Amino acid sequence: MVPVSQLLANKGNAIYSLGPDEPVFDAIRLMAERQVGALLVMDGEALLGIVSERDYARKVILMGRSSKETPVSAIMTPAPLITVTPDSRARECMRLMSDRRIRHLPVLDGGRVVGMLSIGDLVRAIIEAQDAEIQQLTQYIAG
């Protein structure tokens, strides 16, 4: 199965983040602009946490908070986070996400953030790998 480093190379390793004191409103706007479901919360290069659309729904909307007045730090999942390395494998990441019931995995290399994977990235990679295997088996059988 394909390594995380290859997944990041294929999808691009853009890192979308914001600071812990930014208002939740800015986080939601950035997620919408970038079409992502989660952002890393960072102070410089230090990973402090992750904030997702799910956090917004559960910790802002349902609690009656103001998205313009609530800082991201109030609703984020704080570090230490579940992370993977560029050497991790897609299937291992999928199992980790499934077992931990998470949808995003920060990728760290030597403690430095180098990208982020979503469940969609992993599903796509697994489907592509299975399609390639089916094609090879079909060609082998056809002789």
Tens digit of pLDDT for each residue in 90-111? Answer: 889 999 999 999 999 999 999 8
Residue-averaged pLDDT of the chain: 91
pLDDT at residue 31 is higher than 80:
yes
Joined tokens for residue 30: 């950035």
Whole-prediction pTM? 0.85
Q: State residue 64's pLDDT score.
A: 83
Domains and CATH numbers, the chain: 4-142 (3.10.580.10)
Contacts 24+ apart (CB under 8 A), 121-129: 121/7, 121/11, 122/7, 122/90, 122/93, 122/94, 122/97, 123/94, 125/1, 125/2, 125/7, 125/90, 126/1, 126/90, 126/91, 126/94, 129/1, 129/2, 129/90
Q: State residue 2's pLDDT score.
A: 85
Distance, in Å, from the CA atom of 38 to the CA atom of 140, rounded to the nearest integer, reads 42
